[in-house]
Chain A
Amino acid sequence: MKSLIFKTASTYLLPLLLLFSIFILLRGHYLPGGGFVGGLMASIAFLIHSFAFGLKETQHIIRINPGFLMPIGLVLAVGAAVAPFFIGAPVLKGLWFEEQFRFIGIVGSALFFDVGVYLVVIGATLTIMFSITDTV
């Protein structure tokens, strides 16, 4: 797409949307949001960018093949789910750190789980979108 406005806007939209998606991801436990929506938003951010600048440019920005995000995310999510098992608790039991973290609040296994979901969603969506864009 060769619209100057769109191009200029998307340069700024990308970082903003990505930040927003992380914000959505982190607030999920208390307010509307979460890993799934966050992941979708991040993918939209990249997709808009690829609309404006072309697939090559966006892939250059991401650097790694987005497909790799899927296994990383899966390992995180499964890890968070299985972790309680090793301290003798049932699988998927929520574990929490004692102290609060600055900005984020209390951190527990649920957050890692959500981050895993976030990464899987980005990886899967971008893989689907990019392979379709690339082929047609």
Chain B
Amino acid sequence: MLIAVILGFIFALLVPFFSRFFKKAIPFIFPILPISLFIYFVGFLGEIKSAAHQLYRYEWVPSIGVDLSFRLDGLSLLFALMITGIGALVFVYTANYLKDHEYLDRFYGYLSMFMASMLGVVLSDNLMTMFIFWELTSISSYFLIGFNNNDPASRKSALTALSITGFGGLAMLSGIVILQSVGGSYSFTELLNSSEVIKSSSSYGWIIALLFIGAFTKSAQFPFHFWLPGAMKAPTPVSTYLHSATMVKAGIYLLARFTPLLGDTFWWNGTLVTVGAITMVYAAIHSVFRVDLKSILAYSTISALGILVFLIGIGTEKALLGAGIFILAHALYKAALFLITGIIDHETGSRDVSKLAGLQQVMMPVAIAGFIAALSSAGVPFLLGFISKEVMYEATLDLGQWAIILTVLLVLTKVGILVAGFWAGIKPFIGNLPSEFNKAHLPSPLLWFPPLLLGVLSLGFGIFPSLMTESLIQPVFSSMSGADTVIQLKLWHGFNLVLLLSVLTLVTGGLLYWFLIPSEARFQKTLRYESISPQNIIEGGSNLFGHFARIWTKFFQNGYLRNYVITILAFLTLLMSFRLFGGVNIHLDWDQISPVSSYEIIVVVLMIISILFAITTNSRTVAIVALGVVGFANCLFFVFYSAPDLAMTQFSIDTLTVLLFMLVLLKLPKNRSFSSKGMKIRDAVLSLLFGVLIAILTLEVFEEPSSSEISKYYADNAYILAKGRNVVNVILVDYRGFDTMVETVVLVIAAVGVYSLMKLDLNPSKKDS
């Protein structure tokens, strides 16, 4: 199991090393990966019966309860099959779609990395591990969306997607941590036992709110939905794989996964139904106004995700069953539609639905796939979409007082999705072929076979629902609801309200499709409302934040070293005085103080004189030398109080500092007075305050009872354990050798930093001259 999950990472890691030698072979090698994984997961179909799950544990970081444990039950199996199955088709499709692309190898690397992370998300039992994989999907999708990295728009969308999903990921992480502190474990399986405890705890609200943010951002729910249409800048295989079939469903997966654990409360259901309903209707309406095929599909995908959230929110057995089937149905038909869009784009160079027509004359197989997918999305009988739609309507009709309004919303959404599906799957193929597309021809089977296969599956499951009922849908349903009701899917339910609604949907949608001709002009009209769209508001917010950050940085880090020093000192002074505000506890015991000798007095006087020199002189050299004297005088104190090692080091450091200052100062122009009288007073006050505070702090330290045990241990054992008599050095090279080692590394880094600052001219403004 572990190998199955990380195999994709291994493949991705090998790409940079071997692609040079196997560049030609890569499109043939890589599809083997998802295909074999798919076969591997199909093998589990029989084993995962209702409610049963299999756990695989591999230890990773046991000290904080994070391990690589994988849980395979109906829900994760469904997702694993979709990820690898659609993955296999996408991998094959890409081989031709991006044929001869310069970075095809890279693309496959990103894709397999993504696939592996996605498998990790849906299979992880440990929530911390799941979070890590979750973030990896965001990162790999960043690369995939920004694959055309020469295009600024594409880079921007990639960044938007990453920031939105990354933000959600952070929220989710906090949610997981709170969940762990309440439930006592990161393991989902173990948490399931304490479901009631979690639900009744005071942090429950926080947990679900944070997890919701994670799920909503990933699954493009209102108001975070806008990254998804932007992400359509990616090559079509990416849109197919990430943005319709798998990644955006990760949020759905999360919600479905947590339903038995956290679900069935007012806030859980209420929030999900509200957000889901807003998203599905909002996006369905939006999709009807678009003309770009990919845009239409993006919005209809958001709408479908809204339906899923909505169904999970309703939370009845029927609704969860509907969600389970719809996940599969949607993945099958939406992936097909995206692939078809890719083919159309590839062959005609256009994705404008108002221009495309009549393509069935040149690419019949593609057209067939398109028809099936469109009909399945519409929910026409004998297709999988029909079954899922029937179950959904049954679910909403069962709801008592809310039944009517929720059903109306659902029907409305379904009509929108139908129109979108027809535009993408039917409109481009019927009618007369415009002359500008005469050159289009049937592409390689590598391109049209995947969508056709998806269509055949939609059809097969639609006609014979028993094919999947027991092996797949039943376990999915059980792991989502926790109930063990035996489900039955039928094609024919008799003449009832549900059937009537289905017919109503089809007729309304059909009429709408007939009369509503997609046009650029209508799309332009919607742009009027752009300024109040969530995208604009959130982007405006982030711009404002950037603006604020610039002002903030300009104020505190304005490039003058002297201001930096003032900032640091002022901040420390404030911090310490705040701390001292609570009361100072200084108790000086004059008897304990060692007698003051005459040479100590001399040294102190020397120090004071040099300080006076340093602050009054006009010559830089004098100031530096005076400061050096202060340093040396300090060292003398170390000598007086028997710390020769410290004194020696301090001597050398002081010498070096003075030398360094001299080196630089000698080259500077003559000193002039830059500071006004006011500035001088300000500096004086600040330094006096700082000095006083440090003095108070030092005196306070004496109040702390000091333990001599550690130093005694060091002193006693220095020779026995480390064969050294100089305790300081023994500590440095032996007791705390690791510290020293890391410090030497720090020193090297500092040296390299100074070197590169000084020698490499990275300032672009100077480069031209």
Interface residues of A, Cβ cutoff 8 Å to B? 24, 28-37, 40-41, 43-44, 47-48, 51, 67, 70-71, 73-74, 77-78, 81, 92, 94, 96, 106, 108, 110, 113-114, 116-117, 120-121, 123-125, 127-129, 131-136
Most chain A CB atoms below 10 A, which of B655, B663, B747 = B747
B432 at the A interface (CB under 8 A): no
Q: Is the CB of A43 within 8 A of B656?
A: yes
Whole-angstrom distance from the CB of B612 to the nearest CB of chain A? Answer: 28
The CA of A37 and the CA of B650, in the complex, are separated in Å by 9
Q: Is the CB of A127 within 8 A of B754?
A: yes
Contact with A along B720-734 (1 / 0, CB 8 A): 011111101110111
The CA of A47 and the CA of B737, in the complex, are separated in Å by 29
Q: Given the interface contacts A34-B733, A44-B655, A136-B667, does A110 sit within 8 Å of B724 by beta carbon?
A: yes
Counting chain B residues whose Cβ lies within 8 A of the other chain, the interface size class is 35 or more
Q: Is the CB of B652 within 8 A of A117?
A: no
The CA of A131 and the CA of B664, in the complex, are separated in Å by 11
A-chain residues with CB within 8 Å of residue B663 when the two chains form the complex: 51, 129, 132-133, 136
B-chain residues with CB within 8 Å of residue A129 when the two chains form the complex: 656, 659-660, 663
Q: Is the CB of B725 within 8 A of A30?
A: yes
Q: Given the interface contacts A33-B729, A128-B750, does A94 sit within 8 Å of B734 by beta carbon?
A: yes
B560 at the A interface (CB under 8 A): no
The contact of A32 among B721, B726, B730, B759, by CB within 8 Å, is B726
Counting from the closest, the 7 A-B pairs by CB-CB distance are: A40-B652, A124-B751, A32-B644, A29-B724, A131-B758, A30-B725, A127-B751
Q: Is the CB of B737 within 8 A of A32?
A: no
Most chain B CB atoms below 10 A, which of A51, A106, A131 = A131
B-chain residues with CB within 8 Å of residue A136 when the two chains form the complex: 663-664, 667
Q: Is the CB of B645 within 8 A of A81?
A: no
B617 at the A interface (CB under 8 A): no
A-chain residues with CB within 8 Å of residue B751 when the two chains form the complex: 67, 70, 123-125, 127-128
Q: Is the CB of A92 within 8 A of B724?
A: no
Q: Given the interface contacts A29-B730, A81-B741, does A44 sit within 8 Å of B652 by beta carbon?
A: yes
Closest residue on chain B to residue A48 by CB atoms? B659
The CA of A78 and the CA of B737, in the complex, are separated in Å by 10
A-chain residues with CB within 8 Å of residue B748 when the two chains form the complex: 70-71, 74, 120, 123-124
Closest residue on chain A to residue B649 by CB atoms? A37
The contact of B726 among A34, A41, A81, A116, by CB within 8 Å, is A34
B399 at the A interface (CB under 8 A): no
**B135-162 CB contacts (< 8 Å) to partner A:** none
B503 at the A interface (CB under 8 A): no
B681 at the A interface (CB under 8 A): no
Q: Is the CB of B652 within 8 A of A113?
A: no
B-chain residues with CB within 8 Å of residue A48 when the two chains form the complex: 659
A-chain residues with CB within 8 Å of residue B645 when the two chains form the complex: 32-34, 37
B648 at the A interface (CB under 8 A): yes
Q: Given the interface contacts A43-B656, A92-B738, A113-B737, does A132 sit within 8 Å of B758 by beta carbon?
A: yes
The CA of A37 and the CA of B758, in the complex, are separated in Å by 26
Q: Is the CB of B656 within 8 A of A120?
A: no
Most chain B CB atoms below 10 A, which of A40, A71, A124 = A124
Q: Is the CB of B649 within 8 A of A36?
A: yes
Q: Is the CB of A120 within 8 A of B744?
A: yes
The CA of A134 and the CA of B758, in the complex, are separated in Å by 9
B740 at the A interface (CB under 8 A): yes
